[in-house]
Amino acid sequence: MLAVQLLVPACLLLAGGSVSQAGDVKAGRAKAMMCQACHGLDGLSKTPDAPNIAGQIEPYLVTQLQAFKTGARKSDAMSVVAPSLSDKDIEDLAAYFAAIEISVGKLPGQ
Ligand code: HEC
């Protein structure tokens, strides 16, 4: 029984490691202090013009942050923050915001 209890988390860790990018969630949380005024540390928007990014798909977050960094995607707010982010910062931030658990309630309009 003990072996099973030890084995299961080990498998989950291995499986997680193989599908996720190189991002470090814990490091990403620390770096997310740069983002909290607009996106919240919880990834839920704190201003009317910033989108929610909690639970967003990790590769999408990486792509958008890279696009803000290179200028391929333009935004007055993000163009101030993104150029200073390294590739590792982007991976860590994407891993952190993607790892925030979100749940969807009742769908409206029914
Ligand atoms: C000054 C406010 C501000 C700060 C600070 C800020 N953002 Fe943003 N962010 C915005 C706004 C506004 C947008 C919407 C840009 C647009 O209209 O295209 C945005 C867009 C984004 C998007 C695209 C989301 C989507 O749905 O396409 C990502 C990802 C993102 N921000 C991540 C971050 C991260 C990570 C940080 C911290 C390193 C950060 N932002 C810091 C205001 C901010």
Would you state the structure tokens that stand for residue 58, as one six-digit string?
A: 């990790």
What per-residue confidence (pLDDT) applies to 5? Answer: 52
Query: Which tens digits make up the pLDDT trace of 54-73?
Result: 999 999 999 999 999 999 99
| Residue in 29, 31, 34, 35 to alter for ligand 1 test, most ligand atoms within 8 A of Cβ | 35
- Ligand 1 atom with the shortest distance to the CA of 49: 12
Evaluate: CB of 98 within 6 angstroms of ligand 1.
no
Please state, as a whole number, how many other Cβ atoms lie within 10 Å of the Cβ of residue 105: 5
The single-letter code of the amino acid at 92 is D
Query: Which tens digits make up the pLDDT trace of 75-106?
Result: 999 999 999 999 999 999 999 999 999 999 99
